[in-house]
Amino acid sequence: MAKRRKIITSIIFAALFISAFLLFLGITKENRTVEVLIPKGASPYKISKILKDSEVISSKSLFLALVKFYGYSSSLKAGLYDFNTKDSLKTILLKIHDGAGKYIKVTIPEGFTVKQIAETLSKNNICDAENFIKSANEQNMEGFLFPNTYFLLPQMPEREIIKIMNDEYKKFWTKERTERLRQTGKTEREIIIIASIVEKESIADSERAIIAGVFLNRLSKGMRLESCSTVLYAMGINKERLSFEDLKFESPYNTYKYKGLPPGPICNPGAEAIEAVLYPQATNSLYFVSKGNGTHYFSSTFEQHIKNKIVSKKNQKK
């Protein structure tokens, strides 16, 4: 009887060993791809639970044992991963250790603020919005994060993303553009501030250089820029039309109250807006008002500007 029990125990142990070995190799699983997000700061136990709940692994204990065996407890990386359910535990572990995750395609449109960029990144599980805003503001990056399509990894460090976008901005400044900047007599920051306003005020591509010319004309004459977009930025809101009370909003960004440029850019302008300021269209115009269809009436006198505003109001009532 004792001999029989010993044989049965040996068979059970062998079966368990073989099962564990097969799990390690991934032989017994079905063939299916599963997308899994490993969040930043997740412990090995949390990762094992995520993998188990996603049916990528069959045993949390075996996964944790393997993590400990390889000494990977503090070197597993966050990210978005594609696992095949046939993958062995070792393959799965090495992929997370190496950070071999998927890239996410994210498009940042021209004219987005740091806050809007942060919200877009957060929605795509790339980083924390508040941390991104804090890091970008600490580095004074409003205006210097280049609008483009990026391929980013989930849970990336915020400073790394900011560097990627700022490096893309730096690529804009070719030798020719840098020389043109010198010819304007303005600093790079001044050009970007003006470009950010042009980006927000212009809808039609054909009008960017004209609007840039208008703002540059006003600056050269010591006139206030009177840009509604700067007031909206100061107020932190978005609305179609400002009230008279809005125009009194106290902020150095309120260009209805203060002459010259605001303290910084009000968004992150694209290449076309920056080009428009570097190469503005020669114009005598000092004013412009919306036609209500995405284009504007331009005028060189205040009297004509008032007439254009009356026409604009009539058009928008139709």
pLDDT of residue 10 exceeding 60: no
Bin 282: left if φ > 0, else alpha if -120 < ψ < 50, else beta: beta
**What is the rounded distance in angstroms from the CA atom of residue 73 to the CA atom of residue 190?**
49
**What is the rounded distance in angstroms from the CA atom of residue 84 to the CA atom of residue 246?**
56
The set of long-range contacts for 59-62, using a CB threshold of 8 Å and a minimum separation of 24, is: 59/20, 59/23, 62/20, 62/23, 62/24, 62/89
* Beta-sheet pairing, 104-107 with 296-299: unpaired
Concatenating the DSSP letter of every residue in 96-109 gives HHHT----EEEE--
What's the full length of the chain, in residues? Answer: 318
The tokens of 259 are what? Answer: 């002459």
pLDDT of residue 136 exceeding 90: yes
Q: pLDDT tens across 260-312, in order? A: 999 999 999 999 999 999 999 999 999 998 888 889 999 999 999 998 888 88
Residue 281 has what DSSP assignment? P
Q: List, by residue range, all CATH 3.30.1490.480 domains of the chain.
A: 28-98, 104-172
This model's pTM is above 0.85:
no
Q: What angle do CA 180, 112, 79 make, to 5 degrees?
A: 110
**What is the rounded distance in angstroms from the CA atom of residue 243 to the CA atom of residue 52?**
57
In this prediction, residue 41 has a pLDDT band, given cuts at 50, 70 and 90, of confident
pLDDT of residue 20 exceeding 60: no
Which amino acid is located at 312 in the chain?
Answer: S
Q: With beta carbons less than 8 A apart as the criterion, state whether 77 and 38 touch.
A: yes
CB-based burial label for 191 (10 Å; 0-12, 13-18, 19+): buried
The tokens of 66 are what? Answer: 């393997």
Secondary structure (3-state) at 89 = helix
In this prediction, residue 84 has a pLDDT band, given cuts at 50, 70 and 90, of confident
**What is the rounded distance in angstroms from the CA atom of residue 255 to the CA atom of residue 264?**
12
* Beta-sheet pairing, 296-299 with 149-152: unpaired
pLDDT of residue 8 exceeding 50: no
| Cα 176 from chain centre | 28
pLDDT at site 198: 98
CB within 8 Å of 265: residues ≥ 6 apart:
142, 143, 144, 192, 193, 195, 196
The whole-chain average pLDDT of the chain stands at: 88
Q: Tell me phi and psi for residue 230, to 5 degrees.
A: -70, -35
Which of 73-77, 79-83, 98-102, 286-290 has the weakest average pLDDT? 98-102
Which of 11-15, 47-51, 81-85 has the weakest average pLDDT? 11-15
CB within 8 Å of 192: residues ≥ 6 apart:
143, 144, 265, 269, 274
Average the pLDDT over 140-149 and give the result: 98
**What is the rounded distance in angstroms from the CA atom of residue 89 to the CA atom of residue 62?**
8
> In the chain, pLDDT over 70 holds for what percent of residues?
90
The tokens of 294 are what? Answer: 């995405």
**What is the rounded distance in angstroms from the CA atom of residue 36 to the CA atom of residue 39?**
10
Which CATH number applies to 104-172?
A: 3.30.1490.480
Give whichever of 20-29, 99-108, 150-159, 171-180 has the largest mean pLDDT.
Answer: 171-180
pLDDT at site 79: 83
Which CATH number applies to 28-98?
A: 3.30.1490.480
